[in-house]
Amino acid sequence: MTRPIDPWASTDHDPTSHAQNVPEGEIFTTAQTLEFARQDIHAAVDAHDDPHRRRQYTHSALSYANTVLMATDATADQRKHAG
């Protein structure tokens, strides 16, 4: 189980934020966190015309991937995908 720091949790209320509307203290599974990273990579690619937004999604994906790499319950396959 992982407890990622949501890089999008701010007052901008990004509609693609994964942790928005999640109860305080909610714990994501490692698989969910890896999926959040994957979704953010796709969002970064989709933001090809906005370098700032692309960078934000890239940093968010990196944060989620690092969370998976540090998770004690991550499988070898999950760590491979996160890397």
DSSP annotation string for 41-72: HHHHHHTTT-HHHHHHHHHHHHHHHHHHHH-T
Note whether residue 5 is domain-resident: no
Of 2, 1, 5, the C-alpha closest to 59 is 5
The reply to whether 3 falls in a domain is no
Q: Which helix (H) or strand (E) holds 79?
A: helix 76-82
Tens-place pLDDT, residues 11-32: 555 555 555 555 566 778 899 9
35 lies in some domain? yes
Q: Does 71 map to a domain?
A: yes
d(CA 1, CA 53): 29
Question: What's the confidence (pLDDT) of residue 14?
Answer: 56
In a domain, 36, yes or no: yes
Instruction: Give a yes or no: residue 57 inside a domain.
Output: yes
Number of domains in the chain: 1
pLDDT at 27: 76
Query: Does residue 54 carry a pLDDT above 80?
Result: yes
The parent domain of residue 42 ranges over: 30-77
